[in-house]
Amino acid sequence: MTGLNDELFSQALWRIFHRSTPAVPWRDGANLPWDEPAFSQRMLREHLNQGHGAASRQRPEILRQVDWLWARLDLQPGARLLDITCGPGLYAVELARRGVDVTGVDFSPASLAYARELAEAQGQAGRCRFIQADVRAELPRQAGGEYDAALFIYGQLAVFTRAEAAALLTGAAGALRPGGRLALELLNFERIDKTHSTWWYTDDTGLWGDAPFLTLGERFWDADQRASIDRFWVLDLHTGALQEIGLSDNGYEREELLTLLRASGFSQAAAYPAWDGLDLYDADEWVAYVAQR
């Protein structure tokens, strides 16, 4: 326990004791610190870990999804695609390898640095453009009807408030040419964990840090908002410093999302539960949507 600050440690425990409960989505934590450099590096490590699919899916599954997206989005060599929250470019660069010109937007500096390196290594730098920005600010800048298709996958729309989500979908529609298509992926509302739960664990490496830490976690479901919040209390066991990290997620029932897509400028939309039978380890947890402007 060398270096432990007893006062900090005591303050951390009292802060946890006096926390607001139940936590309220967005009031008590909105999103992960994607753009914080150290967190960004640790998250990239999770994206690239082929031992799990918790950040990005494993490569064989990504390739199956790319085949599915190629058909459903009616992609052809020379098509222009906007990858919203592109992460480390695992989909973008694979699509570029197939002849698509891709613009990826993400908030994470480490992920985007990796995406650029991957594109260069694969000989696709000329087909890939990566922009570090908050998609809420960047999508209006892309609203010129220049893209043939767009991606917004792995549940990322859910981490924004419903008002922000509506604006993002409107922005995605504005970025597409008439007839252009958006692929969207969200958790199946029926499969979302709507129970209160708590957990704890210790580690010395992982998403929350690279020195010994204790993580106390709790999850709440707000039935009125149809949203969950996961709250993580991460205690540095060397110093006693405490991080509070929240992640709020909206749950969307299928008809609500289809209605939202139509209201956002898409002329038609279809839902594909379990990725239309695609062989993914967690396919049953998800619904894929394809909407056409």
Torsion sign over Cα 23, 27, 32, 33: negative
CA 293 to CA 267: how far, in whole Å? 5
12 shares a domain with 66: no
Q: CA 157, 160, 161: angle at the middle one, nearest 5?
A: 125
170 shares a domain with 224: no
Q: Decide if 288 is inside a domain.
A: yes
Q: Decide if 202 is inside a domain.
A: yes
Q: Decide if 263 is inside a domain.
A: yes
pLDDT at 211 over 70: yes
239 shares a domain with 165: no
pLDDT of amino acid 6 = 86
Answer whether 66's CB lies under 8 Å from 72's CB: no
179 shares a domain with 223: no
Displacement of CA 276 from its chain's centroid (Å): 21
pLDDT of amino acid 2 = 55
74 shares a domain with 53: yes
Q: Decide if 115 is inside a domain.
A: yes
pLDDT at 29 over 90: no
pLDDT of amino acid 30 = 81
pLDDT of amino acid 5 = 81
CA 44 to CA 109: how far, in whole Å? 10
Mean pLDDT value of segment 221-230: 98
Looking at the 3D structure of the chain, how many domains does it have? Answer: 2
Please, which pLDDT band fits residue 1 given cuts at 50, 70 and 90? very low
264 shares a domain with 157: yes
Q: Decide if 232 is inside a domain.
A: yes
CATH number, domain with residue 106:
3.40.50.150
205 shares a domain with 184: no
Q: Decide if 130 is inside a domain.
A: yes
> Which pLDDT tens digit goes with each residue over 150-209?
999 999 999 999 999 999 999 999 999 999 999 999 999 999 999 999 999 999 999 999
Q: Decide if 1 is inside a domain.
A: no
How are beta strands 128-132 and 242-250 bridged, if at all? unpaired
213 shares a domain with 154: no
CA 12 to CA 7: how far, in whole Å? 9
Contacts of 273 (CB under 8 A, 6+ apart): 188, 254, 287
Q: Decide if 170 is inside a domain.
A: yes
106 shares a domain with 53: yes
Tokens of 187: 């958790």
> Which pLDDT tens digit goes with each residue over 111-131?
999 999 999 999 999 999 999
162 shares a domain with 108: yes
Mean pLDDT value of segment 248-270: 98
Residue 226: domain span:
6-30+193-250
pLDDT of amino acid 64 = 98
Quote the DSSP letter at residue 198.
E
258 shares a domain with 245: no
88 shares a domain with 54: yes
Answer whether 47's CB lies under 8 Å from 62's CB: no
Percentage, residues of the chain above pLDDT 70: 99
> Which pLDDT tens digit goes with each residue over 226-247?
999 999 999 999 999 999 999 9
pLDDT of amino acid 54 = 87
Mean pLDDT of the chain: 96
> Which pLDDT tens digit goes with each residue over 62-105?
999 999 999 999 999 999 999 999 999 999 999 999 999 999 99
Q: Specify the pTM.
A: 0.95
